[in-house]
Amino acid sequence: MNEEVENQIEEQEDEVLFRDKIFDNQFEQTELDTSEKSFQIDSNFTEKSFDDKIDEEMIKDQIKNILFSNPRYNRFNVMNEEGSFPKINKSDINEIYRYVLDSMPEVPIIEAFSVITSIYDISPEKFYESLSNTFKTELISELKNRGYLKNRKSLF
């Protein structure tokens, strides 16, 4: 009896070892999404005015100039020998954000947040999570004041 069990186990192990991952794959058995796709613009979307676009570009250029002229913050945009960019940790994110807000107090913090995330190619979610509670509170308050969080009651 024990020999039969051992033989079965060995046969199963042999089958696993000889499985060809290229030809014995499950790639063609994926589910097909046949739901309707719509490429129409949402009726709630409103195009930004020409003046708003110009203002955004000016703010973006000003923030880029401030950050790229400072070697401490520009180093995050310079590729190293391995072909990658230096990692930005939480304290760096907070320091960069504070630097921009202190250097340009006239720039709305929502726009500063947006521009910094695009300059350093950081997802807004990760950037927000890395901000200090003080910065998060200021950002949420500004979003509420502009009406972006009208129907949200969970955010103070």
Of the ranges 26-35, 43-52, 73-82, which one carries the lowest mean pLDDT score?
26-35
pTM of the model: 0.63
Q: Would you say residue 123 lies in a domain?
A: yes
Residue 36 lies in a domain: no
Categorize the per-residue pLDDT at 112 as very low, low, confident or very high, splitting at 50, 70 and 90.
very high
Is 43 within the bounds of a domain? no
Q: What is the mean pLDDT of residues 131-137?
A: 93
CB 92 within 8 A of CB 115: no
Residue 23 lies inside a defined structural domain of this protein: no
Mean pLDDT for the chain? 81
CA-based nearest residue to 120, from 99, 143, 147, 146: 99
**How many separate domains does the chain show?**
1
Task: Please state, for a pLDDT cut of 70, what percent of the chain lies above it.
Answer: 76
Q: Within a domain: residue 93?
A: yes
Residue-number span of the structural domain to which 97 is assigned: 53-145
What per-residue confidence (pLDDT) applies to 2? Answer: 65
15 has a pLDDT exceeding 60:
no
CB 66 within 8 A of CB 101: no
Residue 132: the pLDDT is 93
pLDDT at 134 over 90: yes
Question: Are 110 and 143 within 8 A, CB to CB?
Answer: yes
Please report which confidence band the pLDDT of residue 97 belongs to, taking 50, 70 and 90 as the band edges: very high
118 domain residue, yes or no = yes
**Cα 156 from Cα 153, distance rounded (Å):** 7
Q: Regarding predicted confidence, which is higher, 111 or 19? A: 111
Q: What is the mean pLDDT of residues 42-56?
A: 81
Residue 19 lies in a domain: no
Mean pLDDT of 1-20: 62
Q: What number of other Cβ atoms are within 10 A of residue 6's Cβ?
A: 10
Instruction: Give domain status of residue 45, yes or no.
Output: no
Per-residue tokens: 153: 């009651």
- Of the candidates 77, 50, 64, 41, which has an alpha carbon nearest to the alpha carbon of residue 111? 64
